[in-house]
Amino acid sequence: MFVKLNDRVYLNADRITRIKIDEVQDGIRVRFYEGQNQVAKSHKFENVEKASAWVEKTMNQK
């Protein structure tokens, strides 16, 4: 199943093995992995709660 991450990126959710919410220098990013390889990352968020809510909303798309 493909989910839309943004205007240009669709992610094959069936192949994602790990999702990590990571703090970077100027905000929070969500990173998507297939095994050991990072395959996509999100835009920046202000806090972990907003990032977590975005992951829930995005990964539950039909």
Q: What is the mean pLDDT of the chain?
A: 91
Residue given tokens 């493909």 in the structure block: 2
Q: How far is CA 19 from CA 36, 38, in A?
A: 11, 9
The conformation of residue 50, written as its DSSP 8-state character, comes to: H
Among candidate residues 59, 31, 60, the one with its CA nearest the CA of residue 45: 31
| pLDDT tens, residue by residue, 30-48 | 999 999 999 999 999 999 9
